[in-house]
Amino acid sequence: MKAHILTITLNPTVDYATSAPRVIPGPKLRCTEPHIDPGGGGINVSRAIKLLGGQSTALVAIGGATGAHLLQLLALEGVATVAFQGPGETRQSVSVTEEESGDQYRFVMPGPSWKEDDVPRALTTVDQATGDGTLVVLSGSQPPGVAKEFPSILAGHVAGRGARLIVDTSGPALFNLAEAPREALYVLRMDGEEGEELDGRKQPTPEDTARFAERLVAEGVARIVIVARGADGSVLSTKDGSWHSVGAEVPVVSKVGAGDSFVGAFTLALAREWPIETCLQFGVAAASAAVTTEATRLCDREMTESLMKDCRLRKL
């Protein structure tokens, strides 16, 4: 691997996954022993990179006993970390699978609210951990109190360090990036629904998605724009054109972690300096592998590599 990878998680979580015969209101629900994982977008990207045979550093805001537990879980998985003090107590999330139906119920806490001085401390930590050529990945939800402009502010810091920023975001932060283009943004990824909302129209075909992504590239929003299309894979656009890689046909157990697996695989391939269309194909294969696993188990290296041939790639 030629480029260092740094992932950023401002709103991490400790994920508890369990199951119960039925999920109904009223009585106590007797659950199975929980499976406990470190969670949050950037953390899961680093975990996916590790599972795929790569290395990265996870920069994480932590707080309290739950934050200490989170760092222990990451250490057990062999993920290198740079921790800085965040406000309050690190959040927890719970997913419960109803054994009778197979339905999954996910309870996601908001996380502690950030104050005015918390963001500069985070940016200082990023500056210290970022060097020339670093691939910096910002993924996951923003904590309460963090302004929608944070990804744009981070882009300026990353550019000043000679690094490249990859952002996987949604909601107000995504709209802010699209409305205030910064050349420092290297990759912007979003889901199909978010792309349609930004575009103001439906995108029934990969060609429709490519048209939208190419417009964002032309407007200077990012050098590379990726739009996920669910089971139909993903579309990637650059100034040199657009590509579509379709997902492999696999049994779907849980869609949790598919997006983070994509970002992890795509970033790892970028760090290895693979052709951009192969990076896309590798990301789609990792997402396909991830949906075959339970809860937050993410992608498997052997399966991801074997699924590459089934993730058909074409230039649009």
The answer to whether 113 and 143 have CB atoms below 8 angstroms apart is: yes
Residue 37 CA to residue 40 CA, distance in Å, equals: 10
Residue at 8: amino acid letter: I
> Given this model, what pLDDT does residue 181 score?
66
Residue 135 CA to residue 120 CA, distance in Å, equals: 21
> Given this model, what pLDDT does residue 295 score?
61
> Given this model, what pLDDT does residue 14 score?
96
Please identify which of the residues 118, 168, 260, 300 carries the catalytic annotation. 260
Which domains can be identified in the chain, with CATH numbers? 5-11+37-78+113-315 (3.40.1190.20)
Based on its alpha-carbon atoms, the radius of gyration of the chain, rounded to whole angstroms, reads: 19
| 199 among known catalytic residues | no
Give the end-to-end CA distance of the chain in Å, rounded to a whole number.
29
| pTM of the predicted protein model | 0.92
> Given this model, what pLDDT does residue 1 score?
54
- Give residue-wise pLDDT tens across range 159-186: 878 899 999 988 899 998 888 766 668 9
Q: Distance of CA 233 to CAs 74, 148, 247, 287, 303, Å?
A: 29, 28, 4, 9, 17
What is the maximum span of the chain, computed from C-alpha positions, in angstroms?
Answer: 59
Give me the count of residues in the chain.
Answer: 316
DSSP secondary structure code for residue 221 in this structure:
S
> Given this model, what pLDDT does residue 182 score?
61
Task: Print pLDDT tens along the chain (316 aa).
Answer: 566 999 999 999 999 989 999 999 999 999 999 989 999 999 999 999 999 999 999 999 999 999 999 999 999 999 999 999 999 999 999 989 999 998 889 899 999 999 988 999 999 999 899 888 899 999 988 899 999 999 988 988 888 788 999 999 888 999 988 887 666 689 999 999 999 999 999 999 999 999 999 999 999 999 999 999 988 999 999 999 999 999 998 888 777 789 999 999 999 999 999 999 999 999 999 999 998 887 667 898 999 999 999 999 999 9
Q: Pick from 49, 45, 62: which is nearest to 11 by CA?
A: 62
Residue 203 CA to residue 197 CA, distance in Å, equals: 10
> Given this model, what pLDDT does residue 242 score?
98
The answer to whether 175 and 181 have CB atoms below 8 angstroms apart is: no
